[in-house]
Amino acid sequence: MNVLIIEDEHALAAALATIVRRLGAEPAVAASGAGGIDKFSRRAFDLIVLDIGLPDMSGLDVLRRIRAQASGSPPVLVITAHGTLENALEARRLGASDYFLKPLDLAEFHQALRSFLKTHEGDSPAARQKKRDGTPQTTVMIGASPGMQRAFADIAQACGTDAPVLITGPSGAGKSLAARVVHANSAATAGGPFVAFRVDEWSPEQIQNTLLGEADTPPGLLRKAVGGTLFIEDIASLPPPAQGGLERALNAPSPSPGLPRILAATSRDLFAEVREGRFREDLYYRLKIVEIALPPLAERTGDIPALAAFFLGQSAGSGREIALAEETLACLKAHSWPGNVRELRNAMQHAAAVCTGPLVLPRHLPGSISRATDADAASRSHLDQALQQALARWLDQKLTAPDDALPAYDDLAGQIESMMLRELLPRFDHKPTRLAAALNMNRATLRRKCRDLVDSSAG
């Protein structure tokens, strides 16, 4: 069996080729999009591993040209450091079989690769064509942080199936928007109705009839959403009788033409609700066929500049030039954001309303947002405190041993540095040369440390 690896990072390409050989297949490596297309045109491959961030062209363009060359082309596993929602959806639309984010978990990739090599014969051209049909809808989900890249990959997975989806995340993180993206980009629901039902807006007595309907009442929302999506918000608050009715409906033979697709959202730990006996275990597993986990905004502060600029532009309206001052961005990044993206959007609406000039200053922000602008105040931000607390817990765990068995200081420092590099590399497109130049690091030393990271992941 032959596997084509299109990857411009030499260390990662070598590690992937090693995995392919261990699985009894023969790798062929191309370091550019053009080189990969050329190899594909001259040889038959059973599977393709494709990076989106190639030096000469986008991996998505490579995928389009490969699909255009052969309608029965092999499965494609996409890997990328550029995990935008648009990339994830476009890769799925073009027929990518799976989507992996850098830094790559080589053990997970090994397992996925082994599975695809065993089953690639069953990946029919007709099934792949179905994934490619249709044009994805415009979306406004913004984020480049690792947590959002994982969420975008999960959304793309959800768009490739009609199974129920559970969307988790804190209040204000964007669960409703994620549900609409899945609805609009899923072939089975894109042309149908999107019906939203928020559980906490109804009394327990009303929920059963409104959601499921009864014999002597108009059809419930479950029937009105047929052909589209029923989005149930705050699913954890669903009363036990309605939980039972929904579980029975979902337990109907699949696929059922009389039911809509079910998307459910919660800001609570639904499995904890199951353990406490407040939520049905069978319904929990029915809903959690696919899960999309949205991170809190405090864990994706790198996305704040883009999100804030987008919301500010929306609030200011067309024709008005307005931007955020650097010290204002510092204030936004130092805030803990208990209301998440919703709070940020409201803050930008407030800023656009009170700022009469072209530059939003810290004084234009709502009073609830920290206005720390000097270095001393910034050092006391919640992020620094959280890091110090996490480091203290980590050291407590590492130092729980007799004195003669304690780890060496260099070993502890090396582990911390490895974790820091894993976070830094995605911010520079996994290009060690860019990282070294930006942060004034020795290139040779950084390359050695990156090789050590790859070796430890492979091990």
- Give me the residue spans of the domains in the chain: 2-132, 146-295, 298-379, 399-458
Return the percentage of the chain with pLDDT > 70, whole number: 87
pLDDT at 179: 95
CATH superfamily of 2-132: Response regulator (3.40.50.2300)
Which regions of 134-245 does DSSP assign to beta strands (E)? 165-168, 194-198, 229-233
Same fold, 2-132 and 146-295: yes
Name the least confident of 101-110, 132-141, 193-202, 393-402: 132-141
The larger pLDDT score, comparing residue 225 to residue 123, is at 225
Burial class (CB in 10 A: 0-12, 13-18, 19+), 40: buried
pLDDT digits (tens, 9 = 90+) for 283-314: 999 999 999 999 999 989 889 999 999 999 98
Section 187-206 average pLDDT: 86
**What single string gives the DSSP state of each residue in 304-361?**
HHHHHHHHHHHHH-TT---EE-HHHHHHHHHS--TTHHHHHHHHHHHHHHH--SSEE-
pTM above 0.85, yes or no: no
pLDDT band at 214 (very low <50, low <70, confident <90, very high): low
| Domain 298-379 class in CATH | mainly alpha
Token output for 62: 């490579």
Report the CATH architecture of 146-295. Answer: 3-Layer(aba) Sandwich (3.40)
Question: What are the Cα distances from residue 256, in Å, to 215, 226, 231, 259, 304?
Answer: 20, 10, 17, 6, 42
Has residue 373 got a pLDDT over 70? no
Highest average pLDDT, of 8-17, 104-113, 123-132, comes from: 8-17
List, in order, residues 6 or more apart from 97 with CB less than 8 Å away: 75, 76, 77, 116, 123
Buried b vs exposed e over 141-168: b needs ≥16 C-beta within 10 Å? bbbbbbbbbbbbbbbbbbbbebbbbbbb
Token output for 88: 């994830």
Closest by CA to 85, choosing from 178, 164, 190, is 178
Helix (H, G, I), strand (E, B) or coil at 33: helix
How far apart (Å, rounded) are the C-alpha atoms in residues 350 and 362?
A: 12
How far apart (Å, rounded) are the C-alpha atoms in residues 455 and 459?
A: 6
Which regions of 96-200 does DSSP assign to beta strands (E)? 98-101, 165-168, 194-198
- What average pLDDT is seen over the chain? 83
Closest by CA to 328, choosing from 307, 351, 357, is 351
Question: What are the Cα distances from residue 246, in Å, to 24, 27, 88, 218, 253?
Answer: 47, 48, 31, 17, 14
Q: Is the dihedral of CA 184, 187, 193, 199 positive or negative?
A: negative
Question: What are the Cα distances from residue 135, in Å, to 60, 90, 187?
Answer: 15, 9, 10
Q: Is the dihedral of CA 83, 189, 286, 243 positive or negative?
A: positive
